[in-house]
Amino acid sequence: MVALYPGPVEVGGIRLRNHLLLAAGILGTTGASLARILANGAGGVVTKSIGPSPKEGHPGPCLVVVDGGIINAMGLPNPSAAFVDELASLAGEPVIVSIFGGTPEEFRTVAGWFAGKASGLELNLSCPHAEGYGAAIGSDPALVQECTRAVASLGVPTWVKLTPNVADIAEIGAAAERGGADAIVAVNTVKAMRISTALRRPVLGNRFGGLSGKAIFPVAVRCVYDLYEACSIPIVGCGGVSTADNVVEMMMAGASAVEIGSAVIDDIGIFAAIADDLYSLDGIDAGEIVGCAHA
């Protein structure tokens, strides 16, 4: 496997300690948990998605473990503006706040709370199980462009997280780039569900959810590959990454960095473990392999 030279990296206007970030929605609800992930080797962290008003989320069950992954339907629970207080202890750290809204105006409002208080913002235009938010907006190129522009115009580094649940993700990525995105994150979870044959009912309280974990890694690689062909801004690969070789594969598809989510549930030390395998003082610059799989 290719080894990379260790050290800080800048992606989409944000300086990271390394190429490995915590994905949104995993241990990102408090400043203490984010600090713990950074202390365990992450190059940066993305918070839980924060919206324009507090939400309790969907009724349980909200999560089911399946072969190769996890299906969740949390429903974007969050404390809204009160989350600003959680960032006080993380000043100067590579923290990216995930935000959502139902309109460009709501995105801009939420972004305004965190401008200057975080390294950057990640627009959640991709959650598959929150009606009126996430993928409901992220499947419309015009809305993606408008929401992105509303946030990017504040002058803060703006990443846009895309859904794989569209016919042409490259079209959506291009819309985000037109709106002023500094980077694209690909991808969020894949629409999924399970049914209890004993109860004859869906397992999740919301019926439907989003699949994450190793099972969606090939889907994410394809999405990153397609986006690299269509866009000129950096891409952050996300979806099923759990090994150093996965990181290298994502980079060869076109990713400049990766986010890790479900693998953290099994091992909070996953960032340090991957870094041990990925980096070497005689390794090459990551730029040599980013997108190298494209003929």
Residues assigned a catalytic role: 127
In order of 163, 270, 289, the CA distances from 274 in angstroms are: 25, 6, 17
Tell me whether residue 240 is annotated as binding.
Answer: yes
Is 102 annotated as belonging to a binding site?
no
Asked if 45 and 96 count as a contact pair (C-beta separation under 8 A), the reply is yes
78 labelled ligand-binding: no
For 37-156, where are the E strands, in sequence order?
A: 44-46, 63-66, 69-72, 95-99, 120-124
Establish whether the linkage from the previous residue to 203 is cis, with ω within 30° of 0: no
Does 191 carry a binding-site annotation?
no
* Residue 214 annotated as lining a ligand binding site: no
> Helix, strand, or coil here: 109?
helix
72 assigned binding-site residue:
yes
**Would the annotation count 33 as a binding residue?**
no
Whether residue 48 is annotated as binding a ligand: the answer is yes
Residues 89, 35 contacting (CB under 8 angstroms): yes
Q: Any binding-site annotation on 213?
A: yes
Q: Is 206 annotated as a binding residue?
A: no
On whether 49 is known to bind a ligand per the annotation, the reply is yes
Dihedral pair phi/psi, residue 69, rounded to 5°: 175, -160
Q: Give yes or no for a contact between 147 and 100, defined as CB atoms under 8 angstroms apart.
A: no
What tokens appear for 171 in the block? Answer: 């079209």
Alpha-carbon distance of 198 to 227, in angstroms, equals: 42
Q: Which helix (H) or strand (E) holds 262?
A: helix 262-266
Q: Is 243 annotated as a binding residue?
A: no
Binding residues for FMN, by number, are 48-49, 124, 161, 187, 213, 239-240, 261-262
Binding residues, by number, are 48-49, 72-76, 124, 161, 187-189, 213, 239-240, 261-262
